[in-house]
Structure 1
């Protein structure tokens, strides 16, 4: 588990090589504002080898926030993260490790008949109830606990620092919004118990659409309501009224800036007031924000991909660095994830942190 002393020690060891606010508060200490993503890549041994090397290189170069999920690359990404942590010369306690559960994962490769595999692997043994499924997704607490146990096994860790419920808005295809909130509360109760047991340091939700879309959109979820369910779970489980809901993850980049530009959330103490953005809500609520798709899954790394007026305001030697620094500059963002299996691209991404992000007023000016 990441510890305060180890995280601050990592910052002291690497901080002078980076720009202002490269290290930001996360969990018990601080972690890098550039994070290592593990979503993309085919489920092959060759990609495993390349990803393992770039993760190790990143961890040893000043990036100590690693993000994965049970279903990424058919479960291979979690295994590779664990291997990279063991290979690195950096202590595990100096690295924030996050993973996710919700989607039913394959095991190492894509089966010829995915539906048959999921039925035989999950439904028939009773790991999931068909009534809890929305496609290949479940929020059932029993399944999430099973998934957490498998993640810990694949990672080879006793604790993950942040465990996300993965894309809970997926359930809205099958059930009402209120039913999803109720399912989240029960899931959070399970995660509170696992937090007390020391299996997770904190938890949150990782989303794609839920917090970016308008209130009347089918995929919308209210962070206020999600947070209130975590608060209720903390009160229910005890031993005190505290809770471990600490972070949200969502896409954010120069082409997907809804978390900053769309006012679609309401503060708990002002439910009838003016709506605010997701990033503002997270800041007011003290939640960490981790951005996915920070370089548009590679789309923003080409010359001319960033609008000229925005590109001119951003620091960085390459489009990838400027795209990453746009995401890192948004008020309230704690860490921006970017993934690669190319060592040169990894070095380029790490070097993005050597440039200072835009200040709040300069970032606001981008949208004027």
Structure 2
């Protein structure tokens, strides 16, 4: 198969029978690990992007029970996707892994440029986006974000080339709220609609299986915030363009100890007229939520955690990173996606495979008291 399947992902998890029974979750289509691995690197213009390579960490993750890889075309100027291809092809060739066992997610929306960083990034945009007819100048927001169908098609097809795959399992519209403040909400949702129409076409062509939105703050803000996105409106758009079998099935948003809003802040109105936290709203709309930034890009660790956190998370004998990951994977997200370049960090994190998730009581205690960072 050219994409992840229920049978393939189930076969994969059976290799890890020693893990806690709640390490894997089924959303009706695929079996997900409760920890996924991502390939985002902050400040991509830094010199370390010329020397790091995610391939070894990715291979370690796949060998340790993580069969979800998350990336985006703009991560490190397309290099993250290319290193995923490097890791996957080696394991496919050696017979260690089958394509149907692994879930690959990528994103389109940001202008990726190309590696190494071009001498004139604005010239790159002009040549590769504007002159190429993928978008007009006013459709590229602050020289970094674009949601035209032509651009998103190019982005998806370029990701497929980078990944050396026939099909991407989950394709996200990446941080669309970036455009809010530069366009009004009516124009914004109209752009979401034409993007989803393109995604449905890409599904029909076999280039993606499902799609979603990966957002930073858009679904977490208060309703009157400029960058607020209504999940209800987005779901209605998906139903309009794709019918009851539409491909909008996933939403990615941050969830961590310092940013727990998806679990505790009721800001998304559902079909019953009541407001719910994002995780609950996703469940009501039949979407799988994936939690991003469980370590808040390591900003959670400015000081040691309270001992009470380890007690509640059942991680007292581990470290603060394990406690943070345990928190992130123990709420309503189907997985929590962490980044790792060093294979040793993957090994360290995967000790959680043997640890049951935290109880609802423990999560509510941690959320309701002052133990969070």
Q: Which residue of 2 aligns with 1:79?
A: 82
Cα 1:152–1:322 shift into 2, 3 Å: same
Distance 1:224 1:47 in 2: 40
Q: Which residue of 1 aligns with 2:141?
A: 134
SS at match of 2:36: strand
Length-normalised TM-score, structure 1: 0.92
Distance 2:139 2:249 in 1: 26
Distance 2:113 2:27 in 1: 31
How big is the shift at 1:299?
2.5
Moved more, 18-27 or 55-64: 18-27
Q: Deviations over 1:299-332 (max 9, x none)?
A: 235661x4554343112311111100100011x2
Q: Which residue of 2 aligns with 1:329?
A: 330
Q: What pairs with 1:30-179 in structure 2 (closer than 5 Å)?
A: 30-40=31-41, 44-48=49-53, 51-88=54-91, 89-135=96-142, 136-179=144-187
SS at match of 1:362: helix
Distance 1:202 1:86 in 2: 23
- Residue 350 in structure 1 maps to residue 357 in structure 2: no
Q: Which residue of 2 aligns with 1:299?
A: 299
Distance 1:353 1:299 in 2: 24
Q: Which residue of 2 aligns with 1:360?
A: 360
Q: Answer whether contact 2:167 2:206 (CA < 8 A) is retained.
A: yes
Q: Deviations over 1:238-262 (max 9, x none)?
A: xxx4100011001110001111121
Distance 1:60 1:92 in 2: 14
Moved more, 80-89 or 36-45: 36-45
Distance 1:170 1:30 in 2: 31
Q: Which residue of 2 aligns with 1:188?
A: 196
How big is the shift at 1:191?
0.5
Q: Which residue of 2 aligns with 1:238?
A: none
Q: Which residue of 1 aligns with 2:238?
A: 230
Moved more, 193-202 or 351-360: 351-360
Q: Deviations over 1:170-229 (max 9, x none)?
A: 111211112111111111011011112211110000000101111111110000111111
Cα 1:27–1:340 shift into 2, 3 Å: farther
Q: Which residue of 2 aligns with 1:254?
A: 257
How big is the shift at 1:340?
1.0
RMSD, aligned CA: 1.6
> Which runs of 5 or more structure 1 residues have no equivalent in the other structure?
236-240
Distance 2:85 2:281 in 1: 33
- Residue 8 in structure 1 maps to residue 10 in structure 2: yes
Q: Which residue of 1 aligns with 2:371?
A: none
Q: Answer whether contact 1:338 1:349 (CA < 8 A) is retained.
A: no
How big is the shift at 1:33?
1.0
Q: Answer whether contact 2:134 2:148 (CA < 8 A) is retained.
A: no
How big is the shift at 1:24?
0.8
How big is the shift at 1:4?
1.4
Q: Deviations over 1:125-181 (max 9, x none)?
A: 222221212121011111101100000000000001000000010111211112111
Q: Answer whether contact 2:169 2:210 (CA < 8 A) is retained.
A: yes
SS at match of 2:313: coil
SS at match of 1:248: strand
Moved more, 241-250 or 151-160: 241-250
Length-normalised TM-score, structure 2: 0.91
SS at match of 1:147: helix
Instruction: Report how many aligned residue pairs link the two structures.
Output: 355
Distance 1:113 1:38 in 2: 25
Q: Answer whether contact 1:189 1:234 (CA < 8 A) is retained.
A: yes
Cα 1:30–1:129 shift into 2, 3 Å: same
Q: Answer whether contact 2:309 2:323 (CA < 8 A) is retained.
A: no
Q: Which residue of 2 aligns with 1:278?
A: 278
Distance 1:121 1:308 in 2: 53
Moved more, 114-123 or 87-96: 114-123
SS at match of 2:159: helix
Distance 1:301 1:13 in 2: 33
